[in-house]
A and B are shown apart, each in its own frame.
Chain A
Amino acid sequence: MLRASWKSLMARKLRLFMSAFAIILGVAFVAGSFVFTDTLGRSFDSIMNSTVGDVVVRPVAGDVDIESQPSSETLPGSLVKDLASTPGAARADGNITNFGTFVVGKDGKLIGGFGPPGIGANYTDGPAAKGLQPLSLDAGRWPKATGEVVLDERTADKAGYLIGEKVNIVSSGSQPRISAKLVGIAVMEGGTAGASLSIFDTAQARDLFMEGKDTYNDIWVTAAPGTSQEELRDAVAAKLPAGVEAVTGDSAAKAAASDIQEALGFITTFLLIFAGVALVVGSFLIINTFSILVAQRSRELALFRALGSTRRQVARSVLFEATVVGAIGSLVGLGLGVVIAMGIRTLFGTFGLDLSGQSLIISPRTVLVSLVVGLVVTLVAAYLPARKAGKVPPVAAMRDDAVLAESGMRGRVIVGTTLTVVGAVLLGTGLFADVPKPTYWVGGGILGVVLGMALISPLVGRPVIAGIGWIYRRTFGAVGLMAQQNAQRNPRRTGATASALMIGVTLVSMMAVFGASAKASIDAAIEKEFVADYVVSSAVGIPFSAQVTRELESVRGVAEVAAFRWDAVDVDGERGSATGIDPQHVDVIGDAPMASGRLDALTPTSVSVSEEVATARGITVGRTLELTRGGVTKPFTVSAIHKESTLLSSDYLLSLPGLESLGSPRTDAYVFITREAGTSAAQVGRDLDTALADLPVVTVKDQGEFAEEQRSQINQMLYLIYALLGLAVIIAILGIINTLALSVIERTREIGLLRAVGLSRRQLKRMLRLESIVIALLGATLGVGLGVAFGMALQRSLADDGIDVLAVPWPQLAFFVGLAGLVGILAAWWPGWRASRLDILRAVTTE
């Protein structure tokens, strides 16, 4: 029996390859996401290990997570000497670090991408944890005096600076512009992951980032030989003043790395979602392929039964084939996954997150998970066809017309409808009810609806096929009629094939509706609330020096300048978003509807709470709230309650001094600017550009440009998603090719007869093409329908988060349907070619 299965497998290599392809892609995404995540993790682990000392002493407020801006709390310089004499300490070094210091290249462009920080630091020769030297000189020497700088190799290279040349640097510290002579090139252990390094001598770093005070951001205490990190930490902790803590290097590094990984965790989730989509679509393809193969082999299987094989043996022989397909698919998928991981790494490199210093990590877990996922999906998908194979009665071997009994539609409709309804309920709950982990509800709901629809698609699709069929008969006569009839011949097969395409189209349409709604909402919000003439924002996503804002006030023609800062604060242990504004110029930021109180009356000790938070927590005007940021807690009086608006949507609005009093740095995220009446918009825009010309870290945009930037950010996200979903569509195309190719084999005699009575090759190809288009359009129509419904639900659920305009991009959706038709034409090409090459005589006389 095994031998027989193996032989039949080899006889159908091509078809099985096509079903294996679905597994390959799905597994590749699973493997790719694991490999990339592991690589990313290892990469940051090694980077973080060289950014901590044996014991790190820092302000408690300094332990801020990735949502918040870095702390401006510092340690006094005297503490360094004090700690150096701790028993068990070999030395202590004070570090000054700033994350908004970027090098300007010779061409005037900023070095660094959107995301990774530009690090400005002081030079110390203190070793990192475990004696590691984090930095080594590649050329030149370390900075010794003010006016000297050392850059990391990659940055110096990209910027085009040679030793001895003058380097332009912009910083979020109190001096936005820095000019220094390049005296050395440094290499960081483990790479910088795209961050740039500018290293100054301690005195200059103090001037640049510490407003000239003898203070540090943190202190590394190096352990003397024989002293453990823990022992040293305990010894150091005893000497620390209040508000300062000591942590071991190991735990500090681990915490920092896991913070970053958590922040980048969305990449893994994202890839795994696509892996899931690919595998679901792929399992449709496998079910279909094996069903058709079983149907075609029913006589052969019946012969096995007649010769004495048990049902289980027959079923097992089919499962054996599935196992081979699954195993091969998983292995190839694993290999492709590594390639995908390399691709993502390269892609991230172009965005500035350079991970090339770390080789790819293929852990045993990755291999195991990939193989198990691939095998399990294949076997589950092949189970039903295998059971059906076992049910072939032995007598079918003797009969001429061995046809497998088609099970009734009723059970299918009941299960399909139930799944659809349950899915819709899950989806609705996830979107609109307050449940934990709403993404799981939404994901499960979408999966339920899609699978349910796939089951009932043979029924739901009838009107679609009938409609297309009507056009076909009118246009193509007998060829069109036969194409339509063929598509309806085996509704389950057509349904399953179309459903594979439906899934991809559903998700694409959903994202299209969501994206269009988001863009329309942004446009509407900008139209309604954007009162400023210009907005200045960071080019790298990292807030810029507040000094820049001050300079803009003096540009000719500028009337008002309003700074805007993001941060996060805790109230009663619960995290909330915070925005810092200048109360005097808040009207420039936008129209802020108030429930009570006024924003322009905010003082350094008062706060405005959003209506949502106020209602949820029963906060009223006049109450005092304890706001905590890092380790700093200060009381604030609730002086106002603001309603939701696009820009002023944070849970807490504070004055700039108020936010600074919590340790938030003096850096701005946006600056909104209005011009004086009677000035030329273009002229003031040009003057602003000129004022900021040497600060490529920020850009000036007018209303239209700002809206365009927001839209293009959404578009970029959409294109990425489309590209990934495109893979699901490719699997679906393979599904159509597979189904058609198998149908051609099934209909060999019929095709021969048609050719004998005068159907030309072209007409035959057209017939298959039309059938293929029916399948594709059916999938696309169902997909667009579902996608629009999902997209509308998604928009509704996010109406409170600013996506309050529903926009359905009909032309784009029509384009998707048209594209599906094209997919149908492409998919029919190969089966049509094969059919047209069939030997008429063999087709007519075949038994």
Chain B
Amino acid sequence: MTTDLAPDRRGTMAPPEVAARVADLVKTYGSGDTAVTALKGVSLDIVAGEFTAIMGPSGSGKSTLMHCAAGLDSVTRGSVRLGDIELTSLKEKDLTRVRRDHIGFVFQSFNLIPTLNAEENILLPLSIAGRKPDREWYDLVISTVGLRDRLGHRPGELSGGQQQRVACARALVSRPEIIFADEPTGNLDSTSGAEVLGFLRRSVDDFGQTIVMVTHDPGAASWTDRVVFLADGRIVTELREPTPERILETMKSLDAKVQG
């Protein structure tokens, strides 16, 4: 179930650059009789500069796919490439470096280190790497997330939406090849959620950032360029230029298929 190299939404006909490629990915937990296969041979290309959503019912393997693609989890079989780097063959130490230098993360909750203030949290990956931030870029990111007056606050003093925006800024500030977002709006009210999604959208549009987001919310998924649907460890279909209605329809039909 590979995706064709379709023309990207900006309409140019040049072959799109692939930011990440997952091929024949199999992930099995446990062994013997108790083994559970979460991914049963998934292949997926993440196009650079695109905002991709991964959707699917609970247990479909969407989170596992993201964790494997982001180098957070090991794979049983298959390949995960990030740019030119084959993640499955990397040692723990190099994998850490890849995450640090090439990948940004936004999790559903608990994204920030409680002892560090917003600014320190944003600069954490750079600081860990011992790199100096690009001041101009940093300023641009800060003004885009709109948190300039909250930089000295600790996470405990920020609202949920503000916390997620800090997390987005952290993911963005090191200019990673790709950002993985795991249900970034799952814990937010709709207004805050829209703020965060708007910010992610803008990063893609204005900065050409590649983002992969796992979500079960059709509203959130409708902010993306492409929605990939997973069911039972396999990619079943995908939508381009999705709307909430089309996403819902697709989900319903998938549910019917699963139940049927």
Contacts and interface: CB of A to CB of B under 8 A. Distances in A.
Given A753-B110, A756-B105, A479 B128 contact: yes
A750 B93 contact: no
B124 A841 contact: no
Contacts of A840: 72
A755 B96 contact: yes
B128 A763 contact: yes
B127 to A, nearest CB: 3
Interface stretch (A132-140, A480-488, A799-807): A480-488
Given A477-B130, A841-B67, A757 B115 contact: no
Nearest to B64: A841
A408 interface: no
Contacts of B110: 749-750, 753, 844
Interface of A: 477-479, 481-482, 485-486, 488-489, 749-750, 753-761, 763, 840-841, 844-845
Contacts of A753: 107, 110-113
A759 B96 contact: yes
A478 B96 contact: no
A762 to B, nearest CB: 8
Interface in B118-154: 120, 123-125, 127-130
B232 interface: no
A845 B130 CA distance: 27
Contacts of A841: 67, 72-73
Contacts of A488: 115
Given A477-B130, A757-B105, A759-B128, A750 B113 contact: yes
B99 A761 contact: no
A755 B114 CA distance: 15
Contact of A758 (B92, B113, B114, B129): B129
B97 A760 contact: yes
Contact of B120 (A481, A486, A489, A760): A481
A481 B114 CA distance: 12
A755 B124 CA distance: 11
Contacts of A759: 96, 100, 128
A758 B97 contact: yes
A837 to B, nearest CB: 11
B115 A758 contact: no
A757 B92 CA distance: 14
A754 B125 CA distance: 9
Contacts of B93: 760-761
B73 A757 contact: no
B127 A478 contact: yes
Interface in B222-241: none
B62 interface: no
Contacts of A485: 115-116
Contacts of A757: 99-100, 105, 124-125, 128, 170
B113 A754 contact: yes
Contacts of B115: 482, 485-486, 488-489
Q: Which of A479, A486, A750, A841 is the most central at the interface, judged by chain B CB atoms within 10 Å of its CB?
A: A841
Contacts of A755: 96
A758 B128 contact: yes
Nearest to B96: A760
Contacts, number: 71
B217 interface: no
A754 B120 CA distance: 13
User: Which applies to chain B's interface (DSSP): helix, strand, loop or mixed?
Assistant: helix
A759 B67 CA distance: 17
Contacts of A482: 113, 115-116
Interface of B: 63, 67, 72-73, 92-93, 96-97, 99-101, 105, 107, 110-116, 120, 123-125, 127-130, 170
B89 to A, nearest CB: 18
A759 B113 CA distance: 12
21 contacts: A477-B127, A477-B130, A478-B120, A478-B124, A486-B115, A489-B115, A750-B110, A753-B107, A753-B111, A753-B112, A754-B124, A755-B96, A757-B100, A757-B170, A758-B96, A758-B101, A758-B128, A760-B128, A761-B92, A844-B72, A845-B63
Given A478-B120, A478-B124, A485-B116, 10 more contacts: A478-B127, A482-B113, A758-B97, A758-B100, A758-B101, A758-B128, A760-B93, A760-B100, A844-B72, A844-B107
A758 B113 CA distance: 13
Given A479-B128, A761-B96, A756 B101 contact: no
A750 B114 contact: yes
A763 B97 CA distance: 12
A479 B100 CA distance: 14
A424 to B, nearest CB: 36
Contacts of B113: 482, 750, 753-754
A840 B73 CA distance: 8
Contacts of A479: 128
A488 B116 CA distance: 12
A758 B120 contact: no
A259 to B, nearest CB: 63
Nearest to B92: A761
B92 to A, nearest CB: 7
Contacts of B127: 477-478
Contacts of B114: 750
A478 B128 contact: yes
A448 B170 CA distance: 49
Contacts of A760: 93, 96-97, 100, 128
Contacts of A754: 113, 124, 128
A754 B101 CA distance: 13
A662 B201 CA distance: 107
A758 B72 contact: no
A759 B111 CA distance: 14
Contact of A481 (B96, B112, B116): B116
Contacts of B129: 758
A750 B155 CA distance: 13
A760 B129 CA distance: 9
A431 B125 CA distance: 57
Contacts of B100: 757-760
B73 A756 contact: no
B121 to A, nearest CB: 10
Q: Which of A478, A750, A841 is the most central at the interface, judged by chain B CB atoms within 10 Å of its CB?
A: A478
A749 B99 CA distance: 17
Contacts of A758: 96-97, 99-101, 125, 128-129
B138 to A, nearest CB: 15
A478 B112 CA distance: 14
Q: Which of A478, A750, A757, A844 is the most central at the interface, judged by chain B CB atoms within 10 Å of its CB?
A: A757
Q: Which of B93, B96, B100, B127 is the most central at the interface, judged by chain A CB atoms within 10 Å of its CB?
A: B96
Contacts of B116: 478, 481-482, 485
A482 B128 CA distance: 11
Q: Which of A485, A489, A756 is the most central at the interface, judged by chain B CB atoms within 10 Å of its CB?
A: A756
A481 B237 CA distance: 47
B219 to A, nearest CB: 23
B100 to A, nearest CB: 2
Q: Which of A489, A758, A844 is the most central at the interface, judged by chain B CB atoms within 10 Å of its CB?
A: A758
A749 B107 CA distance: 11
Contacts of A481: 116, 120
Contacts of B120: 478, 481
A482 B120 CA distance: 10
Given A481-B120, A485-B116, A761-B96, A756 B128 contact: no
Nearest to B107: A844
Nearest to B180: A756
A299 to B, nearest CB: 16
Contacts of A844: 72, 107, 110
A764 to B, nearest CB: 10
A750 B130 CA distance: 20
Contacts of B124: 478, 754, 757
The 9 closest A-B pairs by CB, nearest first: A758-B100, A485-B115, A478-B127, A760-B96, A758-B99, A757-B125, A749-B110, A841-B73, A759-B128
Nearest to B102: A758
